[in-house]
Structure formats: structure tokens, C-alpha cells
Amino acid sequence: MKKGLYVLTSVLAFLLLISSTAQAQMKIRYINTQRVLTDLPEAQELQKQLDDLKKTYEAEFQTMQTNAQKLLEELQKQSLLLSPEKKAEKEAQLAQKQQELETYYYSKLGPQGEYFQKNQQLQEPLMKKINDTIKRVGEENGYDYILDLVAGSVLYSKPEHDITDAVLAELNKGQ
């Protein structure tokens, strides 16, 4: 038991020694980008604009959907009373409303719709500002790396830590 405790204590002391030595040589910091986006007033305003736009599109879609539903119910109630021509006319109207609903949804809220485009348009300058600030803070404070805690990615690194050329050279040796 004492021997196990001694080994564990020795390993921990060794790891702390290595850790402090490595830390003195390299400055690595992290940032929580989610908190930046939550706490930054500019990002909050941007999110409010996007939320308002989305609510407008969703309300418009809901109104269109309600109108289509009313037309369907009307058609079902009057189905037996309508002539075949009138019934076909109402069914065509309903099909057109459903097509309009689908078109509206994809043009406004779909993956390439207006909401998506507006989101990109508004966020691009903000993200550039944040990334430029991260880079500036890294350079001014002499950090070797700045990591994103949320995404698990490197946001900034000193160019001297880039080993891409060495890896490419090694790969090209084998050819």
C-alpha cells in the first residue's frame, strides 16, 4: 500500500515538473467562443435581428398554412355538394396553396433561403472582428496557441509552430 502511494506521488511530482517546464516554454491559452457570442452586445443585437426576422417569416408561413387548412376543410365539407368541375377547381386551388407553402418555406427558411443568407451576411463581419481580435491578443501577449474551448480547435498559432512544409518534404521523399 505504501509502495503504491509512493509511486503515485512520484509520478504526480514528475508530471507537475514536466508540466511547469513545458508551460514556461510555450504559452497556450483558450477562449470560450460561445461565451463571447453570448456576452458581446454586438452579437446579442445581431441575434435579436435574426430572431425577429425568423419570427416574421414563421408568422407569415403560419398564416399561409392556416389559409390552406381552411381551404382543405371547406373542400372536405362541401365535397358531396360540389359539382365535379367545382371540386376539381377547389382541389387545384389547394394544390397551388400547398406548392406556395413549400416554395415560401424553402425561399425564406430553407438551407439556402433568405434567413440563412441574412445570417451569413450579418455574422461574417462580426466573426472577422472576433478572429482579428483573437489574433491581435495572441500576438501582443506572445501566446503560442489560442484554443477554442467550445469547438476544440486552434484559433491562433505562431507561424513557427507550423510543420506543414516539413511533413510535405518528408512525404515527397518517398516518391
Task: Please give the residue range of the domain that contains residue 65.
Answer: 26-173
5 within some domain: no
Residue located via cell numbers 397551388: 96
pTM: 0.68
pLDDT at 160: 84
13 within some domain: no
Closest CA to 101 of 74, 70, 62, 71: 62
Question: Cα torsion at 130, 136, 138, 144 (round to 10°)?
Answer: 110
Angle at 102 between CA 92 and CA 113, to 5 degrees: 150
48 within some domain: yes
Angle at 136 between CA 132 and CA 142, to 5 degrees: 145
8 within some domain: no
State the Cα–Cα distance between residues 155 and 107, nearest whole angstrom: 34
Q: Residue ranges of the chain with pLDDT lower than 50?
A: 1, 3-8, 10-18, 21
61 within some domain: yes
pLDDT at 123: 95
State the Cα–Cα distance between residues 137 and 131, nearest whole angstrom: 10
Q: Give the number of other Cβ atoms within 10 Å of residue 64's Cβ.
A: 16
User: Nearest 5°: phi and psi at 168?
Assistant: -60, -40
pLDDT at 144: 92
Q: Could you tell me the three cell numbers for 57? A: 417569416
pLDDT at 168: 86
15 within some domain: no
Do the beta carbons of residue 90 and residue 73 sit within 8 Å?
no
Q: Structural domain tally of the chain?
A: 1
pLDDT at 162: 82
